[in-house]
A = this chain, B = another copy of it.
Amino acid sequence: MIINKNTKFLIVGLGLLGGSYARGLTEKGYYVDAITRSQSSVDFALEHEIVKHATTKVDTEMIANADIIVFSLYPHIFVRWIEEHGKFIKKGALITDVTGVKGCIVEKIQSMLPEGVEFVSAHPMAGKEVYGVENSNEKIFFGANYIVVPTEKNTEENIDACKRIGEILGFGRICELSPEEHDEMIGFVSQLTHCIAVSLMTCYEHKNLEKYTGDSFRDLTRIANINEVMWSELFMLNKDALLRQMDLFKSKFDILYNFIETDNKDGMMDMMRLSTQRRKLFDK
């Protein structure tokens, strides 16, 4: 698939990410339809001209009309959707997604699709601690990372097309990982960080904490405002990799604990120097 100005997109699931995809693509002049669950999202998207058409129905004509379909759904709903409606996707169409775990889903979805429909999975490393199309904004993608997660079943042409979507949306860095590498990495940079934030936010009961805090605590707990339905599902679907990353973190935290307990200033300072040196790579 070569993406051009006649390429028709369909977004399934108009939440924060789906809505931001729709905005970004529409902004760049592409044709975008949407299927989503709630009527209020449909109304909002049409009123703000984020999409051409939108519906809460599974409109088979709309599906058959799409060249590229972007799925922005919870993992188990994505699987169920393909099971029930995958047959309406036209031959030659490319499907992609924004799902936060890959190992348990990519090959499964690929095996369920009708002949001639290709699924190239992707993970836009962008988000906000708010939800819904009402909060969507194409700017969340600018300069962010976009990970394409191909398998042996994918063609070079469609992997390129999937990357092209990332370029169109303004991502800063586009790279490839296998599903296993992706889940290991995401267990670390995304799921572990949410585990830390939630633990930090809930471990200390003090009713006036907000009066005494600085930006450090605010930064470390921004993502402690968390969608419990989505994240508990993501954690369970990536359990092994996540527990490995949690173990890694715990070991290092225990080493630092020991340095502090034994007044090992050199140990602390070495660790902090390494930390500072590594952190410099991460500024956007």
Contact = CB atoms under 8 A, between A and B. Distances in A.
Contacts of A248: 203-204
Assign chain A's interface to a size class: 35 or more
Interface in A235-281: 235-236, 239, 242-243, 245-246, 248-253, 255-257, 260-261, 263, 265, 268-269, 271-276, 278-281
A161 interface: no
How many subunits of this chain does the assembly comprise? 2
Contacts of A203: 248-249, 251-253
Contacts of A274: 201-202
Contacts of A276: 224-226, 228
Contact of A284 (B195, B211, B218): B218
Interface of A: 125-127, 144-145, 147, 173, 175, 177, 185-186, 188-190, 192-204, 206, 208-229, 231-232, 235-236, 239, 242-243, 245-246, 248-253, 255-257, 260-261, 263, 265, 268-269, 271-276, 278-284
B175 A211 contact: yes
Given A196-B200, A210-B282, A253-B195, A216 B243 contact: no
Nearest to A276: B225
A225 B263 contact: no
26 contacts: A126-B215, A145-B213, A175-B211, A175-B212, A185-B212, A188-B206, A188-B209, A190-B216, A192-B200, A193-B219, A194-B216, A196-B253, A198-B256, A199-B255, A199-B256, A203-B249, A204-B245, A209-B281, A210-B281, A213-B282, A224-B276, A226-B275, A226-B276, A232-B272, A235-B260, A243-B260
